[in-house]
Amino acid sequence: EDQVTQSPEALRLQEGESSSLNCSYTVSGLRGLFWYRQDPGKGPEFLFTLYSAGEEKEKERLKATLTKKESFLHITAPKPEDSATYLCAVQPGENFNKFYFGSGTKLNVKP
């Protein structure tokens, strides 16, 4: 069964304190893994797509990496405006019309 698990559920950081969020997945062949950011009261906003193990993508203070079983979203020197819920989603290769989302990690960065 295709499954996505994100950890931790919530993370509180001080401004400037780097950390990582985890997304582990079980899927029938991976076509793509996606990271999104969701602010309260809004729809998710697309951040990255990763396709194969070893791939990395960066955007400002965020870097996403991918292995065969999990993905990490590394946050370097976070700022309060990075506070949001971060979601990952996988697109299985056997049916790439479907997407499976994790429950998200709620990040709170204190000034």
Partner 1 sequence: EAQVTQNPRYLITVTGKKLTVTCSQNMNHEYMSWYRQDPGLGLRQIYYSMNVEVTDKGDVPEGYKVSRKEKRNFPLILESPSPNQTSLYFCASSPRVGSGDGYTFGSGTRLTVV
Cβ distance to partner 1 smaller for residue 18 or 52: 52
State how beta strands 70-75 and 84-92 pair. unpaired
Which residues lie closer than 8 Å to 86 by C-beta, 6 or more apart?
A: 6, 21, 35, 36, 37, 38, 47, 73, 104, 105, 107
Cross-strand bridge partners of residue 71: 23, 66
Stretch that binds partner 1, among 11-19, 28-36, 62-70, 73-81 (CB under 8 A): 28-36
Residue count, binding to partner 1 (CB under 8 A): 27
Residue 71 found at the interface with partner 1 (CB under 8 A)? no
Stretch that binds partner 1, among 19-27, 29-37, 59-67, 75-83 (CB under 8 A): 29-37
Residue 87 found at the interface with partner 1 (CB under 8 A)? yes
- Binding residue for partner 1, selected from 7, 22, 31, 83, defined by CB under 8 A: 31
Compute the least distance from the CB of residue 109 to partner 1, in Å: 22
DSSP 60-105: TTEEEEE-SSEEEEEE-S--GGG-EEEEEEEEESS-TT--EE---E
Interface contacts to partner 1, rule CB under 8 A: 4, 31-32, 34, 36, 41-49, 51, 87, 89, 91, 96-104
